[in-house]
Amino acid sequence: MYHAARGWLPHLLDELGDRDRLDGELVTVLGQRRPARWTRNIWTKPLIIDFESVGEAARKLKDIQRNWAPCPARLHRRSALIAERLPSLPVKPKPFPFVVPETPMGAFTLLDEGRMLASPTCTSPFANGEFEFEEDHEGPPSRAYRKLWEALVLSGKMPAPGERCLDAGASPGGWTWAIAGLGAEVVAVDRADLEPRIATLPNVKVIRHDAFTLAPADLGPVDWLFSDVICYPPALYAWIEKWLASGLARNFICTIKMQGAEFDGETTQRFEAIPGSRVLHLWHNRHELTWIKVDGDRGLGSAEMPLDGSAGKGG
């Protein structure tokens, strides 16, 4: 069962092909799991639960495990009554960084008055894939830093103080602000200027240049390569291939930005085929996906951590 990424149900339906059921933004496909990136959450163990009363529904869910997010496509009032009888879920914005707990997050939706579809485990550790950070409204010059924070939290790894990081497509400086805030050294590359207060941070060096015409050897070894460059996905892929071949970068987090209304599935598959990496749609992503290749990635948010490069090839 697939819960579509906010606003991207059409892309998810294209990815899944035939489907057995559509309830709001919930798409049911019977049988083998299919490659799907335009999701906010995938229900990994869906089961049908029959019940006679709201109380019985809540009891049956609690008997399985603690955390359940209601995901109503119909019978909203009845779903809310069941949810009221369940332990409350954390709703407060989260500070950065935070460690995602191991406890599973389930989800349920009512099919009719006495029957629900429920999954005790899901790919997202957050209720219906949704969460907010405590935002900093003063420091960063854009809100783009939230998707970088999300990728770091899901991978469970952060740039450490003193590590050397390349931030490509850095202007106006949201990601650079976030990386510099962790104490790492940032080389920020963009054709446009960064905001002066970010460009002049002591651990930030700015190179005003086309990132793609700088060879890895021009920039030297980096512990982390970040890219939020607006470009066609194949241009990003070609550049990343050079970095992989050079062996000069260890960890990568890159936004694959879709152009126009299209989803470039072919290039997405190429990224997924890079061993030890994965592609997913983050809650803070827009019309874009995030490619993550991080040593020791916790793999949160994905159905499996494809260390053999088999991501998206079924299951």
Ligand X SMILES: C[S@@+](CC[C@H](N)C(=O)[O-])C[C@H]1O[C@@H](n2cnc3c(N)ncnc32)[C@H](O)[C@@H]1O
Please tell me whether residue 175 binds ligand X under the rule CB under 6 A.
yes
Report if residue 189 touches ligand X, rule: CB under 6 A: yes
Tell me the residue nearest to ligand X as measured from the CB. Answer: 174
Please report, for residues 13, 40, 121, 127, 256, the alpha-carbon distance to residue 92 in angstroms, rounded to integers and kept in the order given: 32, 19, 22, 12, 29
Q: Is 171 among the residues that bind ligand X (CB under 6 A)? A: yes
Cβ proximity to ligand X: between 86 and 194 the closer is 194
- When the beta carbons of 32 and 213 are compared against ligand X, the nearer one is 213
The residues that bridge with 195 in the sheet, in sequence order, are none
Cβ-in-10-Å burial (0-12, 13-18, 19+) of 56 comes to middle
User: For residues 277 and 244, is the Cβ–Cβ distance under 8 A?
Assistant: no
User: Does 253 sit near ligand X (CB under 6 A)?
Assistant: no
188 part of the interface to ligand X, by CB under 6 A: no
Residue (139 or 276) nearer to ligand X, CB? 139
Q: Does residue 264 touch ligand X according to CB under 6 A?
A: no
Nearest distance in Å: CB 158, ligand X: 17
Residues counted in the chain:
315
Stretch that binds ligand X, among 28-36, 100-108, 113-121, 185-193 (CB under 6 A): 185-193
Q: Cβ 266 to ligand X, closest distance in Å?
A: 21
> Considering only residues 117-156, where is the footprint of ligand X by CB under 6 A?
142, 144-145
Return the DSSP state at 127: G
| Binding residue for ligand X, selected from 70, 129, 174, 301, defined by CB under 6 A | 174
Residue 226 burial (CB count, 10 A): 27
Task: Find the shortest distance in angstroms from Cβ 49 to ligand X.
Answer: 43
Q: Put the strands of the sheet holding 26-28 in their side by side order.
A: 21-23, 26-28, 2-4, 39-42
Choices 50-58, 164-172, 293-301, 306-314; region in contact with ligand X by CB under 6 A: 164-172
- Restricted to residues 196-235, the positions that interact with ligand X (CB under 6 A) are 210-212, 228-231
Q: Give the nearest distance from C-beta 295 to ligand X in angstroms.
A: 22
Amino acid at 211: A
Question: What's the closest the beta carbon of residue 25 comes to ligand X, in angstroms?
Answer: 26
Does residue number 191 form part of the binding site for ligand X (CB under 6 A)? yes
Q: Which stretch binds ligand X (CB under 6 A): 88-96, 118-126, 162-170, 278-286?
A: 162-170
Contact between 198 and 173 under an 8 Å Cβ cutoff? The reply is yes
Contacts of 119 (CB under 8 A, 6+ apart): 1, 43, 44, 45, 46, 47, 106, 107, 108
Q: Distance (Å, rounded) from C-alpha 102 to C-alpha 111? A: 29
Phi-psi region of 196 (alpha: psi -120 to 50; beta: other; left: phi over 0): alpha
285 is a site residue for ligand X (CB under 6 A) = no
Between residues 47 and 230, which has the closer beta carbon with respect to ligand X?
230
If one counts every other C-beta atom within 10 angstroms of the C-beta of residue 119, the result is 24
Nearer to ligand X, 50 or 210 (CB): 210
Is residue 87 within 8 Å of residue 96, measured between CB atoms? Answer: no
Smallest distance, ligand X to C-beta of residue 180, A: 12
The pair of structure tokens assigned to 120 is 């005790």
**Least gap, CB of 136 to ligand X (angstroms):** 13
- Is the distance from CB of 157 to CB of 294 less than 8 angstroms? yes
Q: Which of 192, 222, 211, 28 is nearest to 107 (CA)?
A: 28
Number of residues located near ligand X, criterion CB under 6 A: 22
* Binding stretches for ligand X (CB under 6 A): 142, 144-145, 168-175, 189-192, 210-212, 228-231
